[in-house]
Chains A and B, each alone.
Chain A
Amino acid sequence: MRPTFGKLAGIGLLLAFSVPISAQAHAFPARSRPRVGATLSQSPHHIRIWFDAGLEGLFCSLTVKNAAGHIVSSGPGHVVAGSHDRLLETAVPALSPGKYHVYWSVVAVDGHHTQGRYMFRINK
């Protein structure tokens, strides 16, 4: 029986999806604490972002700025040991009520750079 083009295409698709994958892709946040856009009743101690791919710690940063644009986080952030290089963290002092912006910039283990920002609030 002659295989149809459709069957051949289906087999090709299966083969293509079966390609062995060992690389790590662009890294994007899987979740964040505080959550993106959250309104908190008290200041967090840390800002943490879990990524969906391993990070090159040397080229990653995490910074928090207040509504006036002043940096309030302690240091540039770091990749936490024991997290499979997926957790980026920085400490913050007790934050007063207001709006805060979190800025992150990471390089995944495959060398791809991604960056982003999000906001959270602290209520009075």
Chain B
Amino acid sequence: MAHAIAGMRVFPGTLTFADPGVTDELDLNYANAALADAPGDAAPYASTYSLGYSKTITPDLGLSIGTAYQSTAAPGAPAGLQNLNLGIDYQLFESDRQETLVTGALNESLGNTGSAGVGTTYSVFSPTLLFGRGFGDLPSSLRDLRPLAISGIIAPNIPSTSSVARSLTWGLSVQYSLPYLQTYVRDIGLRAPLNNIVPLVEFPMQTFTSGPYAGQTIGTINPGFVWIGHYGQVGIEATLPVNNASGHGLGVVLGAGFYFDDIYPHGLGAPLFPNAPKVF
């Protein structure tokens, strides 16, 4: 979860996958849902508390680190830390006029860094493409749709052992920004806190590409909203499994993000090398 800006578009941090920007942020998430790790797996309700921190090295290059603690009410079920995740992000493309961002990332879930029964003994390498596109350039006849934006992720997951199935993480969010509507399209008189809300729907998915589940997809549909403030954001989404193989019942995910680039603009929130030239 993070936030990024392209022209007049502020992409709020989505709660189930990273946004398309390279930022200085601290993100905290809580989720409670009954979701399967693989199609048809047992899916007891589990609580997950996750923590992520991202730091810019240059304006376009960033590093990230994150982990999560998982617990479940099922008797005998393991609880503990998931594997540690490390990442390096680079913003490949930005168009202010077209409100477009594209970021590439190399992420690694490090094996043997989590708790027994929760983390895994193998690592997973995930080259990742993140993108965002706002629709502020729609013609004036469609101006009420200009607050719309999409963001997404595509990431093949490559385990360090061939005995574990490979998969493709993919996701999409559809957002309608009320602050964009009020500030750039039409002031409809919304006041705080409604004027800073971005209703959105996220579709985080995983399609298995090898092993016994090859071709099968699990995922959820997450309707909710994010409220954007000066120095951070909070968000809430419902979690609805897309099929029986994905889990069951209604879940919830809560997120809070702290924009360190706004809180500490000349210190912790600034790139280490602010004047570094763009490589690509």
Contact = CB atoms under 8 A, between A and B. Distances in A.
Interface string A94-124: 0000000000000000111011111100000
B172 to A, nearest CB: 26
B7 A115 contact: yes
Nearest to B30: A9
B174 to A, nearest CB: 22
Interface stretch (B155-163, B200-208, B261-269): B261-269
A110 B262 contact: yes
A22 to B, nearest CB: 9
The dominant DSSP class at the B interface is mixed
B187 A32 contact: yes
A106 to B, nearest CB: 12
B28 A16 contact: yes
B258 interface: yes
Interface in A1-44: 5-6, 9, 12-13, 16-17, 19, 21, 23-26, 28-29, 31-32, 35-38
A60 interface: no
Interface residues of B, number: 30
A53 interface: yes
Interface in B171-197: 179, 182-187
B65 interface: no
B125 interface: no
24 contacts: A6-B47, A9-B30, A16-B258, A17-B256, A19-B263, A21-B263, A24-B265, A25-B231, A26-B262, A28-B179, A31-B187, A35-B187, A36-B182, A36-B184, A36-B185, A37-B187, A110-B266, A112-B261, A112-B265, A116-B8, A116-B183, A117-B8, A117-B184, A118-B184
Given A25-B262, A36-B184, A115-B7, 20 more contacts: A5-B71, A6-B47, A6-B49, A9-B69, A12-B28, A16-B26, A19-B263, A23-B231, A23-B262, A25-B231, A26-B262, A36-B182, A37-B186, A37-B187, A53-B230, A110-B262, A114-B5, A116-B183, A117-B184, A118-B185
